[in-house]
Amino acid sequence: MIEKPDQRLRLNLRQLEVFVATAHAGSTRGAAGRVSRSQSAASAALAELEAALGVPLFDRVGRRLLLNENGRALLPRASTVLEHATELQTLFAGEHATPLHVAASFTIGEYLLPGLVAEWTRAHPRSRVRLRIANTSEVIEAVAAFTVDVGFIEGPQTHPDLMVRPWRQDELVIVAAPDHPLAARVATHRQLADATWILREPESGTRQATDSWLMAHLDRLDVGFELGSTEAIKRLVAAGAGLGCLSLQAVAQSLEEGRLVALRTRLPKAVRRLAVVTHRHRALGRTAAEFVGHCTTGAAPTV
């Protein structure tokens, strides 16, 4: 008689939950707090999982647990299983009861997504959207590390584990204070090169697009200030400290109110593509997929 291999399920959701939490926290102690268990219970669950799979999932470096090759292969699959399990658990609690974790770069998170999120929550009152706003590099890292379900970015960066899909168009504009010497004229390339600029930090998608646009036409760029806040740049520009280069979405209200003016130049129009970022090894859950669809067809302004 030929014995069939043991096909009984040896894994459980508790083990996978502890594994994912440990991957993010770097220790079973940190994971225990995330899953509301004692450290000993978390350690035991992780040991049971490794025994069931027959391979170690972490390299032990001092007190830190770092994902090894096996762990990196398991993480996206475990995250997907837990997401689907959460959806099953809340299936009869109401539509879209699963929390949605979103990361967005500053321009998108501060000026485009709020209206779309408001529309989404009005249509799905039980849906909770947790929005993290950071620069493009940090958004990409968050999606790659499975700490968020989906990201929205404005820069050309990518990652081998991510899929980047075009989303919307955006236009960059050069802004100045109304009383700036260049505000009442068509600025030449030489005048732009001689001006002081107030720009976002290098890791910002807006900064990368700005550098790509301006440096293609100007022989130099005098960056007097690098700031991590769009609002701070707008205030400093309005005070006459220099020129700024920002998304039209970010400065539209300031232009309308007369606190800033859009500089006229001989430069070509600068249009860039905003994008949606997802992990290629993790299928979007129902809530995340429907939210992305809502943002794609929603009524947020486009350029």
Each residue's pLDDT tens digit, 142-178: 999 888 999 999 877 778 889 999 999 999 999 999 9
Which domains, ranges and CATH numbers included, belong to the chain?
A: 13-89 (1.10.10.10), 100-165+273-297 (3.40.190.10), 169-271 (3.40.190.290)
Q: What is the CA angle 152-100-277, rounded to 5?
A: 25
Is the pTM higher than 0.85? The answer reads no
Residue 2 has pLDDT above 70, yes or no: no
The pLDDT tens digits of the residues spanning 103-147 come to 999 999 999 999 999 999 998 888 889 999 998 889 999 999 888
Give the mean pLDDT of 17-37.
88
pLDDT of 146: 87
| Cβ-proximal residues to 78 (8 Å cutoff; 6+ apart), any chain | 16, 19, 20
Residue of higher predicted confidence among 218 and 33: 218
- pLDDT at position 58 is 93
- Which whole number is the average pLDDT over 186-196? 96
Q: Is it the case that residue 4 has pLDDT exceeding 60?
A: no
What average pLDDT is seen over the chain? Answer: 88
* pLDDT value for 303: 39
In the structure, what pLDDT confidence band is assigned to residue 1 with cuts at 50, 70 and 90? very low
- pLDDT of 77 strictly over 80: yes
Answer yes or no: are the C-beta atoms of 271 and 167 closer than 8 Å: no
Query: Does residue 258 surpass a pLDDT of 90?
Result: yes
Element (H, E) at 113: helix 113-123
Give the pLDDT band of residue 301 (cuts 50, 70, 90).
very low
> Strand pairing partners for 269?
none
Confidence at residue 98, expressed as pLDDT on a 0 to 100 scale: 66
State how far the Cα of 275 lies from the Cα of 151, in Å rounded to an integer. 8
95 pLDDT higher than 90: no
Residue 276 φ/ψ region, left for φ over 0, alpha for ψ in the -120 to 50 degree band, beta for the rest: beta
- pLDDT higher than 70, residue 188: yes
